[in-house]
Homo-oligomer: A and B are copies of this chain.
Amino acid sequence: MSYLGVGVSPGTVPVYHSTNLKLLDKRIKIAELVLRFMILGLGVVAVVLIGTDSQVKVFFSFKKEAKFTDVKALVFLVVANGLAAGYSLIQGLRCVVSLVRGSVLFNKPLAWAIFSADQIMAYVTVSAVAGAGQSAVKVCNMYEKFCNQVGEGVASAVVACISMVLLSCISSFTLFRLYGPNKTKSAAW
Instruction: Tell me the A residues contacting B by CB distance below 8 Å.
Output: 17, 20-21, 24, 72-73, 76, 106, 119, 122-123, 126-131, 134-135, 165, 169, 172-173, 175-184, 186-189
* Complex: A20 Cα to B179 Cα, angstroms: 13
Contact of A134 among B17, B72, B119, B189 (CB under 8 A): B72
Q: Is the CB of A186 within 8 A of B177?
A: yes
20 extra interchain contacts, Cβ-Cβ under 8 A, other than A73-B134, A172-B176? A17-B182, A17-B187, A20-B184, A21-B181, A76-B134, A106-B181, A122-B123, A127-B130, A131-B131, A131-B134, A172-B173, A173-B176, A175-B176, A177-B179, A177-B180, A177-B181, A180-B180, A180-B181, A180-B186, A182-B183
Scoring A20, A72, A119, A134 by chain B CB atoms within 10 A of each residue's CB, the highest score goes to A134
* Complex: A182 Cα to B14 Cα, angstroms: 9
**Given the complex, which residues of B lie within 8 Å of A134, measured CB to CB?**
72-73, 76, 131, 135
* Complex: A67 Cα to B176 Cα, angstroms: 44
24 contacts between A and B (CB under 8 A): A17-B182, A17-B187, A119-B165, A119-B169, A123-B126, A126-B126, A126-B127, A127-B130, A127-B131, A128-B130, A130-B130, A131-B131, A134-B135, A169-B172, A172-B172, A173-B176, A173-B179, A175-B176, A177-B179, A177-B181, A178-B181, A180-B183, A182-B182, A182-B183
Rounded to whole Å, the gap between the CB of A180 and the closest CB of chain B is: 2
